[in-house]
Amino acid sequence: MKPGLLAVDEAKSADITEQFRAHVAHADFPCVGAKSAQARNMLDVVIAHDMRSGWDDLRIHDRLLEWADRYRNDPEGLRSLAVIFQQPDEIDEPTFERLLWQRLQSFAEKDNWLGQSYDTSVSADPTDPHFSLSFGGEAYFVVGLNPSASRPARRFAYPTMVFNLHDQFETLREDGRYERMRDAILERDRDLAGDINPMLARHGESSEARQYSGRAVDEGWECPFRDPRLEEK
């Protein structure tokens, strides 16, 4: 039996997927990158059972490997992979942050066990300003969404992890399109929340690990993640 087979009810899975797609399409949702990915049919959704459990971790990691491979074979266009958990029903920001890093730690350990190399364009050290995750040899960053997020842009009815390939944004930067997209997202976020998210920073200015969960963290925050391949970098 494949991992996750018992965890997902097909009817509920389809309903949650439609909820998420409608959420991204809503006029108030600020991320124009996700909107572009969805419009181009490049926003994939994986429904998992419980964020507190590792039951679906193998299945999710397999999708990350596949997503990385598909990108290498066809790197055109923005794309995102959203992993949505049906449970827990209620979750506060600190708990969501803790579970998000638990799942990412599990994925990293599976990547290492399978002998996947770390993307050499980024750092495996979460304290490094050039840090990004790496699965299947491609760098990823994560945008967390949850029902109790303090930032309106980070709220969704279910705990969610949206995986984005780092290289696609480097391509946008080289083409001169990244700053325009970033400015549009910041302006839309300001319209939604009344101010700009203080946690946002460009890659290379501070570690993007501080941004993943969506919770505002102070200077003393320590990332609860260590990739087993860090010493190899």
pLDDT tens-digit series, residues 145-167: 999 999 888 999 999 999 999 88
Report the pLDDT value the prediction gives residue 5, as an integer from 0 to 100. Answer: 44
Q: Break the chain into its structural domains and give their ranges.
A: 10-225
pLDDT at 168: 79
Residue 181 pLDDT class (50, 70, 90 cuts): low
Please determine, for residue 2, whether its predicted confidence score (pLDDT) is greater than 50: no
Residues 93-119: b if buried by 16+ CB within 10 A, e if exposed: bebbbebbbbbbbbbbbbbbeeebebb
Percent of all residues in the chain with a pLDDT value above 90, rounded to a whole number: 60
- Answer for the pair 75, 167: CB distance below 8 angstroms, yes or no: yes
What is the rounded average pLDDT of the residues 207-219?
Answer: 89
Q: Phi and psi at residue 143, in whole multiples of 5°?
A: -115, 115
Supply the pTM of this predicted model: 0.89
β-bridge partners, 161? 83, 144
Residue type for position 160: T
**More reliable by pLDDT, 218 or 179:** 218
Contact 230, 125 (CB under 8 A): yes
Q: Which of 10-14, 148-152, 171-175 has the lowest mean pLDDT?
A: 171-175
Q: Which residues pair with 131 in a beta bridge?
A: 123
Between 215 and 172, where is the model more confident? 215
